[in-house]
Amino acid sequence: MSNNTYSKLIEPSIKDARKRRKEEIKFSIFDINPKYLNFGVGKKYHLKTYGCQGNLSDSEKMAGILEALGFIATDIETEADFVLFNTCAIRENAEERVFGELGRFQKFLKQKPDMIIGICGCMPQEEKTVRRLKKSFPYVKVVFGTHNISSLPEYVYDAFNGQKVVEVLSIEGNIVENIPVKRDHLAKAWVDIMYGCDEFCTYCIVPYTRGKERSRKPESIIEEVEALAKAGYIEVTLLGQNVNAYGKDFTDREYGFANLLEDLNKTSIKRIRYTTSHPRDLDLATIKAMALGGNIMPNLHLPVQSGNNEVLKRMNRKYTKEEYMEKINLLKEYVPGISITTDIIVAFPGETEEQFQDTVELVKEVEFEGAFTFIYSPREGTPAANYENLLTEEQKHDRLNRLNDVVNAHSLKGQMRFENQVVEVLVEGPSKNNPELLCGYSEHNKLVNFTPKTAKVGDLVKVKIIKAYSWHLLGEEL
């Protein structure tokens, strides 16, 4: 049935994606062309999501759009009429996994030739991905990036009508409000506050895949959070690649991330978290806003990447180890008991053993309660991809293992401080390993498994912690 003509063929350009002009951000309101309404009735979709919370949030919007068209979700891959991969480009291994999955789906097409396979998110924003898709995965019928989620109705319509769509926009970005959202969780919700990133860390692909920093209006965010609270949601996580740059792009007002936290502190939502922060842009006003407490939870993810100033400079992180420590100390002073987690990259090109040791020392000094640790992965089009890296695979893994040992020791210490304490847990569901227990997260974002009394999913309950383990706390409902 497919004649393989393209209804659209716009391929990515890293050169265009790198541009940052001073143009006004275009805001628009989502709406579905009546031509597509009910188009999905009788069809099932299966959405696979990889990567960060930004992608989880985008997937909830795409699910919302597909359901508005009449599609229904299925967990069974072979039942799906439309399969969409929402992908991550941050490291090579994330990408290889997706290519492997696309290969696996080719055999489903033999049994179900009408199945439409699509790919979106960060990977298609890269030139090399689209080249490889066209060459080795011609059966992928829908390819789009991070900027045009709102065009999904048109893409699926064209694909189901026998056409191929490749539409990847290498623009700085726009903001589309009112996209329907099908939330995955009953009590926790993602709230995008801004999109894109202007930091251009030399290892990172995100500023090229997600465009320039652009903020939603505070009124829209506050209204969304209030509506979520009214609908019974307990917790929101404010999302952005660099939330501390929130509001810098406003031309009509002086309003930053600290102001947003202060305003949201007055809303009726019970819990607020946010991610991700950039140490350079995290200011005293924000630390003071966190000190307001109440619904602002005492945990912070503050990626440091390296503990060595020379490496930080080559990463273009724009802060020193000393400046990072100053902010950590302020955070600990203003928000006593705060739980701080981080991201670290090892084996950045040229990182010496001494420079690596500086990172290990920093982990000990800060006493991070958790860290995502990564081996540096070169990304085509980023400056660091051209830096010479003489380390062997064995040396890279050895550094990662040694770092993880130190990180794990501190995580356990961060867990132990809760033994015999009472924490408040937002209940998520049955515990993974013991169905008689429930699980959820505490104020400090610790996973708690506990023996329930009356608690049910979505409740906020008091739990006495009996024992701390490396990756969870064990307790009983009071």
CB of 203 to ligand 5AD, least distance (A): 4
Hey, what amino acid is at 66? L
Using CB under 6 A as the criterion, what x/- string covers residues 361-400 for binding ligand 5AD?
Answer: -------------x-xx-x---------------------
In the 8-state DSSP scheme, what is residue 25?
A: P
Task: List residues bridging with 295 in a β-sheet.
Answer: none
Residues 6+ apart with CB under 8 A from 288: 258, 334
Residues within window 228-247 making contact with ligand SF4, judged by CB under 6 A? 241-242
DSSP H or E run through 189: strand 188-192
Out of 25, 149, 204, 438, the only residue in the binding site for ligand SF4 (CB under 6 A) is 204
Q: Which does 207 bind (CB under 5 to 8 A by kind): ligand SF4, ligand 5AD, none?
A: ligand SF4
Out of 305, 308, 341, 442, the only residue in the binding site for ligand 5AD (CB under 6 A) is 305
DSSP H or E run through 333: helix 321-334
Q: By rule CB under 6 A, what count of residues binds ligand 5AD?
A: 12
Two tokens, residue 281: 């842009």
Options 76-84, 204-212, 288-296, 419-427: segment touching ligand SF4 (CB under 6 A): 204-212
- Phi (first) and psi of residue 309, to 5 degrees: -65, -35
When CB distances to ligand 5AD are compared, the closest residue is 343
Q: Which does 199 bind (CB under 5 to 8 A by kind): ligand SF4, ligand 5AD, none?
A: ligand SF4
- CB closer to ligand 5AD out of 180 and 383: 383
- Phi (first) and psi of residue 109, to 5 degrees: -65, -25
Two tokens, residue 159: 């694909």
Contact by Cβ (8 Å): 234, 48: no
Rounded distance between C-alpha atoms, residue 281 and residue 291, angstroms: 17
Rounded distance between C-alpha atoms, residue 211 and residue 205, angstroms: 10
371 binds ligand SF4 (CB under 6 A): no
Rounded distance between C-alpha atoms, residue 73 and residue 59, angstroms: 12
- CB closer to ligand 5AD out of 99 and 203: 203
**Distance between start and end Cα atoms, the chain:** 62
Residues within window 266-305 making contact with ligand SF4, judged by CB under 6 A? 278
303 binds ligand 5AD (CB under 6 A): yes
CB of 303 to ligand 5AD, least distance (A): 4
- CB closer to ligand 5AD out of 69 and 345: 345
- CB closer to ligand 5AD out of 204 and 225: 204
Out of 80, 149, 206, 221, the only residue in the binding site for ligand SF4 (CB under 6 A) is 206
Hey, what amino acid is at 305? Q
Out of 199, 380, 398, 419, the only residue in the binding site for ligand SF4 (CB under 6 A) is 199
CB of 435 to ligand SF4, least distance (A): 38
Out of 80, 143, 201, 221, the only residue in the binding site for ligand SF4 (CB under 6 A) is 201
Options 32-40, 107-115, 201-209, 222-230: segment touching ligand SF4 (CB under 6 A): 201-209
- CB closer to ligand SF4 out of 40 and 54: 54
Helix, strand or coil, per DSSP, at residue 456: coil
- Closest of 150, 143, 146, 145 to residue 164, by C-alpha: 143
**Alpha helices per DSSP H over 77-176:** 92-111, 127-136, 152-160
Tell me which residue has tokens 């049955």. Answer: 430
Rounded distance between C-alpha atoms, residue 64 and residue 181, angstroms: 4
Out of 142, 152, 197, 304, the only residue in the binding site for ligand SF4 (CB under 6 A) is 197
In the complex, which residues of this chain contact ligand 5AD (CB under 6 A)? 90-91, 203-204, 303, 305, 343, 345, 374, 376-377, 379
